[in-house]
Amino acid sequence: MLRDAVPSRSRQSRALLLRSVDYRDSDRIVTLLTEDYGKMSALARGARKSQRRFGGALQPYVLMNVYFRPGRGDLAHLERVSVDRSFHEILRSLGAIGAAGAALAVIRERVPDHEPEPAVFDTAVRLLTALNEGVPAEEALLCLQIRVLALLGFAPTLDRCVHCGKTPAQGRSASFDGVRGGIVCRACGGGRLVLSADALRRWAVVQATSEFPEEPWPDREREEIHDALAELDTSHATVSVRERTAAASGRWGRRIS
């Protein structure tokens, strides 16, 4: 819980907007991912009317500098916001909008409140930067999902059977079970899905690096990784598969307001 012995003391951090909800006549309650204080909620008084304090900074797909005072409960008081960097090119592509919105939804649901996660914050900024530069949207979203799972300690086991520890033969596919958290050898019952050797290698490379692909992946690899993440999603997370994956088809073009 974000508390301070002196409630009026102001704090500052870079932040991304995860969600914004209108409140009363002119206020907003916003959910932010801050670089220094983790995920937090704040009351932005007059945000729907005040251009002086918030202007156009309190928007999705903007890296902000936020100034706030801790409240007596979980809700901080947002004092003012300025733009650090805008990722406005994202708004030119429905696929990029969908991937960015879904990625921020993943982070909103995965990251605990008031626990600084600077590596997750950096990954989110890198994603928005990459989408702003026009990288393939679905691949970028899948990369973010893989990295956030790993950074928060939820990465699936892909180098050995989760039950007996047997390692798969080099260059061979492996059965995957999202409920059990990784690959499962045939002797231990196998899994509903199969990850090819190429998909396993791709996952390992993505998890170990911070870059986003400039070219689309082969269809089979993308679909296998998508399906494995979707199964992990239904087993462990609350963000819907539709939110995470519709960027590929462009059906989900709704902005986070």
pLDDT of residue 51: 64
pLDDT of residue 246: 44
Tell me, what amino acid is at 96?
A: A
- Where does CATH 1.20.1440.120 sit in the chain? 89-248
- CA 109, 153, 119, 232 dihedral sign is negative
Q: pLDDT of 79-120, one tens digit each? A: 999 999 999 999 999 999 999 999 999 999 999 999 999 999
Domain 89-248 in CATH 1.20.1560.10? The answer is no
pLDDT of residue 234: 80
pLDDT of residue 238: 37
Mean pLDDT for each 10-residue chunk of the chain (257 residues)? Answer: 57 96 90 97 84 77 95 89 96 97 95 95 98 98 97 95 93 95 96 96 96 97 97 64 39 34
Which CA distances in Å does 109 have to 42, 102, 218? 17, 11, 29
What fold does the segment set 11-86 form as a domain?
A: OB fold (Dihydrolipoamide Acetyltransferase, E2P) (2.40.50)
- Where does CATH 2.40.50.140 sit in the chain? 11-86
The model carries a pTM of 0.85
Closest CA to 28 of 59, 64, 73: 59
